[in-house]
Amino acid sequence: MKKLPIGIQTFSEIIEGNYVYVDKTEIAYNLVNEFKYVFLSRPRRFGKSLFLDTLKEIFEGNKELFKGLYIYDKWNWEEKYPVIKISWDGKLQSIQDLEDKARAVFKFNQQNLKLECENTENSAICFEELIRLAYEKYNQKVVILIDEYDKPILDVIDNLEQAKLHREFIKGLYSVIKGSDAFIKFTFLTGVSKFSKASIFSGLNMLVDISLTDDYGNICGYTQGDLETVFADYLKDADMDKVKEWYNGYNFLKDNVYNPFDILQFIANKLKYDNYWFSTGTPTFLIKLIEKNKYFLPKLSNLIVDKKLLDSFDIENIDLEVILYQSGYLTINEVRETPFETIEYKLTIPNKEVKISLNDIIIKYLLNKSDSNREKSSLYLSLLNGNLKEFEETLRSIFASIPYNNYSNNFIQNYEGFYATIVYIYLQSLGLDIVGEDVTNKGRIDLSVFIEDKIYIIEFKVDAAEGEALKHIKEKNYSEKYLNKSSEIYIVGIEFDSKEKNIVNFEYESLERK
């Protein structure tokens, strides 16, 4: 069997080294024939860099690399184009780092194209020179490929002033492209985030964003078909339903896809289920945003956003939902048309890996808990077995162990949604199916939890009269929504005291299915 291309983003190395390759050249062929200026946003480790390098080899006319692939007998290999490739790898914590990196990038491109800029100190001027000189030397229009265009900003996203400096630097650099239109054959930019055109791409109105274009929805990632064909021999002993539950679920308006990094690591580690993708980057910036904005996390299980929200963001106005989506912690679950003929998206956490890992990291950072396995096991078993007494005792233990003195001035003191959020993140970290703010025709259920043949309908109250939570569920008849969908339904009222910072009343009833 062919080797697994773990961490390899160079197309020629994959082909020449006899590594597994999922053929994306039909998508590449259609892309370069349809557009001149293209932008693609995808989460990290999704195959953007490999796709970009594949484009480089196509334009440079390296025909033999593509033998047996879709594009081999369709592309005009006689025409070769000069390629300028920009990649922002390495740590970029200051403007000096950024300037040094830019000079190194253009030095490499000069050597590769056998050209020399007159002005090597000013990267924007060198970039402009390089485009014109390459056009003149090779008598062909130039291809520009920019990998992770936004990395200089994302590296310092938690430092607003530094991020602004980096934004202005790359804005000046990318603005060169518009003025060089006459010399350009094709331009392709990839990134994790889509910043607003006004903030980075001023003047680049011709840039077409294919991030949510269904024709290109599978441009990165592995489909179910890829796993059942290309990886069939590697996965013959795997439980494919469980693989799908753990790693599938990302959607960019075509098929549900897998993160390639997850699948390659899963195979390499002898089919062991683990948080491979998540562990490659700790979202500390997201945790800070959650804490700063006192975000009500149960919203994430049933989130509706409009198309404009996903289109872009800017560093002065960062929206948590947009960051979570663009980073891969949320994905599109459903597309809806509103009564006003506009589009809105229902977002969801893509799979079990992200659900467990994201909530584990929130528990660790917000609650200072390095190990929550004992509580998690107890919560899971109590819900599985319908043991609500054990469920109550475990929740009381969790709230009693929170170091509230660490948060005296921010996260907890004035945050009523805190208690529901803590219960939610613990239950989400179990990988359970959960709906926060679950809509019924009588109102919204705070939390609906589904585990095997059981459904739990939970209402939270803070500083309320005793019995108010369970009474609310009954008055609103919330259980009606699920009476025909489960053999066991539990309605649970949990009441907290903001001074005690713990549960002061816990009531429940088991409902018989009619």
Please, which pLDDT band fits residue 404 given cuts at 50, 70 and 90? low
Please, which pLDDT band fits residue 366 given cuts at 50, 70 and 90? confident
Q: Identify the residue whose tokens are 């956003």.
A: 305
The pLDDT tens digits of the residues spanning 99-130 come to 999 999 999 999 999 999 999 999 999 999 99
Q: Which tokens in the block code for residue 100?
A: 């040094």
pLDDT, mean of residues 64-70 = 98
Determine contact, residues 211/250, Cβ cutoff 8 Å: no
pLDDT for 64 equals 97
- Does the pLDDT at position 382 exceed 60? yes
How far is residue 490's CA from residue 472's CA, in Å, rounded to a whole number?
Answer: 14
Kindly give the pairing relationship between strand 303-306 and strand 343-348: antiparallel
Q: Report, in this order, helix, strand and coil percent for the chain, each rounded to 5.
A: 45, 20, 35
The pLDDT tens digits of the residues spanning 463-498 come to 999 999 999 999 999 999 998 887 799 999 999 998
The candidate with the shortest Cα–Cα distance to 493, out of 514, 512, 481, 478, is: 478
Who has greater pLDDT, 380 or 297?
380
Who has greater pLDDT, 319 or 502?
502
- Does the pLDDT at position 408 exceed 50? no
- Does the pLDDT at position 513 exceed 90? no
- Does the pLDDT at position 411 exceed 60? no
Who has greater pLDDT, 342 or 220?
220
pLDDT for 484 equals 83
Determine contact, residues 13/246, Cβ cutoff 8 Å: no
The pLDDT tens digits of the residues spanning 160-190 come to 899 999 999 999 999 999 999 999 999 999 9
Determine contact, residues 212/252, Cβ cutoff 8 Å: yes
- Does the pLDDT at position 217 exceed 50? yes
How far is residue 165's CA from residue 159's CA, in Å, rounded to a whole number?
Answer: 10
Other CB atoms within 10 Å distance of the CB of residue 345:
23
Please, which pLDDT band fits residue 197 given cuts at 50, 70 and 90? low
pLDDT for 2 equals 96
Q: Classify the phi-psi angles of 477: left when phi > 0, otherwise alpha if psi is within -120 to 50, otherwise beta.
A: left
Which domains are assigned to the chain?
A: 24-212 (3.40.50), 224-280 (no CATH), 284-512 (no CATH)
Q: Which tokens in the block code for residue 273?
A: 């289920």
How far is residue 233's CA from residue 230's CA, in Å, rounded to a whole number?
Answer: 8
pLDDT for 243 equals 98
pLDDT, mean of residues 270-297 = 82
Helix (H, G, I), strand (E, B) or coil at 426: helix
Q: Which tokens in the block code for residue 287?
A: 């945790």
- Does the pLDDT at position 18 exceed 50? yes
Please, which pLDDT band fits residue 138 given cuts at 50, 70 and 90? very high
pLDDT for 198 equals 58
What contacts 351, CB < 8 A, 6 or more positions away?
A: 245, 246, 247, 248, 249, 250
- Does the pLDDT at position 403 exceed 80? no
Number of H-type helices and E-type strands within the chain: 19, 15
pLDDT for 203 equals 65
The pLDDT tens digits of the residues spanning 310-360 come to 666 778 877 888 888 888 999 999 999 888 888 899 999 999 999 998 888
pLDDT, mean of residues 442-453 = 92
Mean pLDDT of the chain: 91
- Does the pLDDT at position 233 exceed 90? yes
pLDDT for 312 equals 67
pLDDT for 338 equals 85
The string of DSSP codes covering 75-134 is: S-TT----EEEEE--S---SHHHHHHHHHHHHHHHHHHHT---S--SSHHHHHHHHHHHH
pLDDT for 409 equals 46
Q: Which tokens in the block code for residue 460?
A: 């939270």
